[in-house]
Amino acid sequence: MNKILLIDVDGTLVDYENHLPDSAVKAIRKARENGCRVYICTGRSKAEVYQNIWEIGLDGMIGGNGSYVEDHGVVVMHQVLSPEQCRRAVDWLHGRGLAFYLECNSGLYASEQFAEAGLPAIRKYVSRKRGENADFLTVQDAFPDMIFGESGEALYREDVNKISYVLQSYQDYLDTCAAFPDLQNGTWGGAGEIALFGDLGVKDITKAHAVDMLLQHLGASREDTIAFGDAKIDIPMFEYCAQSVCMGSGGPEAKAAADYVTGAVDADGLYQAFVYLGLL
Mean pLDDT over 150-176 rounds to 93
Q: Which of 102, 101, 252, 244 is nearest to 190 (CA)?
A: 252
- Give the per-residue pLDDT at 132: 59
Length of the chain: 280
- Give the per-residue pLDDT at 134: 67
CATH class of 83-202: alpha beta
Q: Which amino acid would we find at residue 195?
A: A
Higher-confidence position of 3 and 143: 3
Our measurement of the distance from residue 174's CA atom to the centroid of its chain's CA atoms, rounded to an integer in Å, reads 22
Helical ranges in 97-206 per DSSP H: 114-117, 119-129, 139-142, 170-179
Tell me the C-alpha to C-alpha distance, in Å, between residue 52 and each of 15, 25, 48, 62, 149: 14, 10, 11, 17, 27
Q: Whole-angstrom Cα distance, residue 90 to residue 99?
A: 10
pLDDT at residue 162 greater than cutoff 90: yes
Each residue of 71-109: pLDDT tens digit? 999 999 999 999 999 999 999 999 999 999 999 999 999
Q: Whole-angstrom Cα distance, residue 144 to residue 167?
A: 22
Beta strands 225-229 and 4-7 are parallel
Higher-confidence position of 195 and 263: 263
- Give the per-residue pLDDT at 144: 84
pLDDT at residue 136 greater than cutoff 80: no
- Give the per-residue pLDDT at 130: 58
For residue 108, list its beta bridge partners: 103
- Give the per-residue pLDDT at 122: 85
Q: Whole-angstrom Cα distance, residue 71 to residue 217?
A: 9
Each residue of 215-270: pLDDT tens digit? 999 999 999 999 999 988 899 999 999 999 999 988 899 999 999 999 999 999 99
CA angle 96, 100, 104 (to 5 degrees): 135
Each residue of 118-127: pLDDT tens digit? 999 888 887 7
pLDDT at residue 212 greater than cutoff 70: yes
For residue 75, list its beta bridge partners: 70
Give residues with Cβ within 8 angstroms of 149, minimum separation 6.
Answer: 110, 112
Ranges of CATH 3.40.50.1000 domains, the chain = 4-79+205-276
- Give the per-residue pLDDT at 150: 80
Q: Whole-angstrom Cα distance, residue 113 to residue 95?
A: 13
Mean pLDDT over 64-69 rounds to 93
Least reliable range by pLDDT among 147-151, 188-192, 219-223, 237-241? 188-192
DSSP 223-239: GGEEEEE-SGGGHHHHH
For the entire predicted model, the pTM comes to 0.86
Mean pLDDT over 13-17 rounds to 83
- Give the per-residue pLDDT at 135: 73
Our measurement of the distance from residue 162's CA atom to the centroid of its chain's CA atoms, rounded to an integer in Å, reads 11
Mean pLDDT over 42-52 rounds to 90
Give residues with Cβ within 8 angstroms of 51, minimum separation 6.
Answer: none
Name the average pLDDT for the chain. 92
pLDDT classification of 19: cutoffs 50, 70, 90: confident
CATH topology for 4-79+205-276? Rossmann fold (3.40.50)
Q: Which of 97, 89, 66 is nearest to 200 (CA)?
A: 89
- Give the per-residue pLDDT at 231: 87
pLDDT classification of 131: cutoffs 50, 70, 90: low
- Give the per-residue pLDDT at 1: 65
- Give the per-residue pLDDT at 100: 96
Ranges of CATH 3.30.1240.10 domains, the chain = 83-202
